[in-house]
Amino acid sequence: MSMVTADQAFRAYEAVRHRLPPAVGQGGPVRHVETLAEIADAFDVFLLDAFGVLNIGETAIPGAPERIADLQQAGKTVIVVSNAASVPAKDLQQKYRRLGFEFELSRIVTSRSAMAVAMNGQRGTHWGVMAPEHSEFGDFDGLNSVLLGDDAEIFDEVEGFLLMGSGTWTEARQTLLETALKTRPRPVLVANPDIVAPREDGFSQEPGHFAHQLADRVGVEPVFYGKPFSNVFDLALSRIGPVDKSRVIMIGDSLHTDILGAQSCGIASGLIAKFGFFADLDVMRAIESAGIYPDFVVERP
């Protein structure tokens, strides 16, 4: 898997702004706080990104499990809203438990879940899926699918493509996908709009990277599920019923997914500065460069 730098990732997101929701607001003011504890009284519902907020790769961010437990014990509704699409939410629940977090299954909402809801009942289409080997799709109702590998005939035969997990994806497979779509355009649905994800040793390329590459090279217009698009926020809020949006905040480490998504949904936003995407960047310089202004910059969870 190719790794990219934070600067490269930022430029990649800026290059596809025309496919993302527009920024809302014209420059602040941005309030700086040290931790979520400082703004806990102002909000009833906390929507939290996972990578960069709860964990980096397979490691919990220091202090994050205790902070989340404090919010939950204070009666706050805490929901993970993640673009993790490689595995079902039940597997993520087990992962978070290993890292020291305790979430009910209904409090884990993913871009994969948003895609599954949208595809419910679509049994006729034969889909080719970008996903790791041995992936299971029991959370998709009647999905007729085959994993994409190195067999060009499969790319030619399927009726559409689902981009879900890129951990084992290669440039050779991307070439097969581009060639197949040039030959016969078909739907492309993307269950993870992220271009990159923070890992222990850098940023990995995610399905969004390959989806935007398709759009640029082939002219296909992918349909995205997950942040910054409203479908995953609508799903998350539907899990808790009627809510005063002024009392809801999204906390994430990415301007182009978490903060843009919160703005498009009409809720407040907080950008994590010390972990994840901006751990090695000047966060205020990035905010001003992108013109995407969160309500808060939060140093650490």
Is residue 155 predicted with pLDDT exceeding 90? yes
- Token representation of residue 168: 């084992």
C-alpha to C-alpha distance for 242 and 95, rounded to whole angstroms:
30
The mean pLDDT of 268-277, rounded to a whole number, is: 95
Which tens digit of pLDDT belongs to each residue from 223-264? 999 999 999 999 999 999 899 999 999 999 999 999 999 999
Identical fold between 10-113+227-298 and 122-224: yes
Highest mean pLDDT among 1-15, 47-61, 116-130, 177-191: 177-191
CA 211 vs CA 21, 37, 189, 224, 273: distances in Å: 16, 37, 9, 9, 27
The mean pLDDT of 133-147, rounded to a whole number, is: 90
Model pLDDT, residue 204? 81
Model pLDDT, residue 123? 72
Pairing of strands 223-224, 188-190: parallel
**So what CATH class is 10-113+227-298?**
alpha beta
CA 225 vs CA 83, 112, 197, 200, 235: distances in Å: 8, 7, 16, 26, 11
Is residue 198 predicted with pLDDT exceeding 90? no
Instruction: List, in sequence order, the alpha helices (H) in the chain.
Output: 6-15, 64-73, 89-98, 111-119, 152-157, 171-183, 207-218, 230-238, 260-265, 283-290
Which tens digit of pLDDT belongs to each residue from 65-113? 999 999 999 999 999 999 999 899 999 999 999 999 999 999 999 999 9
Torsion region of 182: left, alpha or beta (phi above 0 gives left; psi -120 to 50 gives alpha): alpha
In percent, how much of the chain has pLDDT > 70?
97
Pairing of strands 160-163, 126-130: parallel
Model pLDDT, residue 29? 87
Model pLDDT, residue 299? 97
Q: Where are the domains of the chain?
A: 10-113+227-298, 122-224
Its CATH architecture, for the domain 122-224, is: 3-Layer(aba) Sandwich (3.40)
Model pLDDT, residue 105? 97
Model pLDDT, residue 7? 87
Model pLDDT, residue 142? 86
Model pLDDT, residue 197? 79
Instruction: Using pLDDT thresholds of 50, 70 and 90, give the confidence band for residue 2.
Output: low
Question: Whole-model pTM?
Answer: 0.93
Is residue 25 predicted with pLDDT exceeding 80? no
Model pLDDT, residue 5? 81
- 259 DSSP 8-state letter: I
Mean pLDDT of the chain: 94
Is residue 121 predicted with pLDDT exceeding 70? no
Which tens digit of pLDDT belongs to each residue from 280-300? 889 999 999 999 999 999 999
Task: Find out whether 301 and 251 touch, Cβ atoms under 8 Å.
Answer: yes
C-alpha to C-alpha distance for 46 and 252, rounded to whole angstroms:
11
Model pLDDT, residue 206? 93
C-alpha to C-alpha distance for 223 and 190, rounded to whole angstroms:
6
